[in-house]
Amino acid sequence: MTHNVPEDRERTGTVRPPSSVSVMPQRSPRIEIAGLVGRWVLGAVFIYMGLSKALHPEDFLKLVRQYELTTNPIILNSIAAALPWFETFCGVMLVAGIAVRGTALVTVLMLVPFTVVIAKRALALAAALGKPFTSVKFDCGCGNGEVVIWQKLIENGLLVVLACLLVAGFGRKWCARYSLFKEPEMRSPKE
Amino acid sequence: MLVAVTAGLLAFAANAISNRGLALGRNYFDAQIHDGSGTRSLPAGTNTTPLLGSALQQLVAQGIRLADSNQVTALFHDPRFEQGLVAFIDARDDEHYQAGHIPCAWQFDHIHPENYLSTVLPVCQVAQEVVVYCNGGNCEDSAFTAGFLASAGVSREKISVYVGGITEWSTNRMPIEMGERKSGRVAGAGK
């Protein structure tokens, strides 16, 4: 369905955006570029983290087991088998700019529980060892080997912020298909 | 939702196609550390922190000993080692084993026991002392391997787990053999 904006203006005297056309806020080129870089960074991080685990699934399985989330081998294997590839696909979708907001939301839903679980384990280790939290380090199964945990938590926090910005609508530049169902038309809200 | 479902399906498909993929129905941590004989209390002074993983704690409760670096070094220099009466078992995967192991240690990756059992089991049955190790730290491969060997018929009394693992061994500047067993490529202090 197409709308003729001048005709609408004649009929009603006001300009209302047609229901089938999303009004996309016009952002400065710098913000658009920043959004693009943010999307690519988040996507690249997910591809790297995903592939590094997908290429060594047995190592990842051992690390997942140490979190003691479940004792059911099928669930445990499913997590270790699917999660790395899941992350990789999300990364590819972000880099290519496919279903960006939905993919970014999925990354937030992954990152938040991961971060909580890592923080809980680090707190338990710090308490058991009587060491300060900042000195705790272990291989969290994040794809980088042994890491200092407080740094990892900050890194995850930044990734969550980045993903939330994408959910909010940033990172539309150079997308193969920003939305799976509806391609918003480029239109200024001043029109 | 569509993104999550699609990525999930693709992730399982990728795992199925990958030659490194995990078998979802298999229990990689089979009940090797449970022998049905009941468990005993942990010996006094046993470290029960999260660093000593749950698998290792259960093994200790079942009577398998933990060895420190002094005991392992003494066994390495024991004349029985030359006679095959002291066996070192490296519980890590190929990549880590090839990168460096205790000289003359036998590899036994519990994820693929079928590849090693026919070689390692006779060695362990002949030996008077069997020392199992992995990376150390929060690595539990040595615990699972020790449990596997015990369930395969090796007497628990002669199995000990070197908790410090190869990390502590190399930190103590002990010799490291690279490549295959008896490759002759040994780095570090001479035996």
A84 contacts A50 by C-beta, under 8 angstroms: yes
Q: Where are the beta strands (DSSP E) in A59-168?
A: 137-139, 146-148
Indicate yes or no: pTM above 0.80.
no
- Any CB–CB contact under 8 A between B14 and chain A? yes
The predicted pLDDT at position B189 comes to 60
Provide block-wise average pLDDT over 10 residues at a time, chain B (191 residues).
88 92 87 45 42 70 86 95 95 94 95 92 95 89 91 92 93 94 80 43
Per-residue pLDDT at A118 exceeds 60: yes
pLDDT tens, position by position, A22-31: 555 677 888 8
H helical segments located in B93-164: 94-99, 117-126, 141-151
- Any CB–CB contact under 8 A between B168 and chain A? no
The predicted pLDDT at position B33 comes to 52
Mean pLDDT of A31-35: 89
Q: Specify whether the backbone of B36 is left (phi greater than 0), alpha (psi in -120 to 50) or beta.
A: left
Per-residue pLDDT at A181 exceeds 90: no
- Any CB–CB contact under 8 A between B46 and chain A? no
Asked whether the beta carbons of residue B22 and residue A62 sit closer than 8 angstroms, the reply is: no
The nearest CA of chain A is from the CA of B191 a distance in Å of 30
The predicted pLDDT at position B55 comes to 74
- The contact set of A with B (CB < 8 A) is 54-59, 61-62, 65-66, 68, 73-74, 77-78, 80-86, 88-90, 93, 99, 102-103, 105-106, 109, 121, 124-125, 128-129, 138-139, 146, 180
For chain A, what percentages of helix, strand and coil (3-state, to nearest 5) are there? 65, 5, 35
Dihedral, CA of residue A12, residue A15, residue A20 and residue A24, to nearest 10 = -170
Asked whether the beta carbons of residue A82 and residue B8 sit closer than 8 angstroms, the reply is: yes
The predicted pLDDT at position B187 comes to 86
Task: Say which residues have a Cβ less than 8 Å from residue B18's Cβ, sequence separation at least 6.
Answer: A54, A57
pLDDT tens, position by position, B127-182: 999 999 999 877 889 989 998 999 899 999 999 999 999 999 999 999 999 999 99
Per-residue pLDDT at A109 exceeds 50: yes
**Chain B residue numbers touching A139 (CB-CB < 8 A):** 138
pLDDT tens, position by position, A123-160: 988 888 788 999 998 889 888 888 999 999 999 999 99
- Whose CA is closest to B46, among B60, B32, B63? B60
Q: Is ipTM strictly over 0.90?
A: no
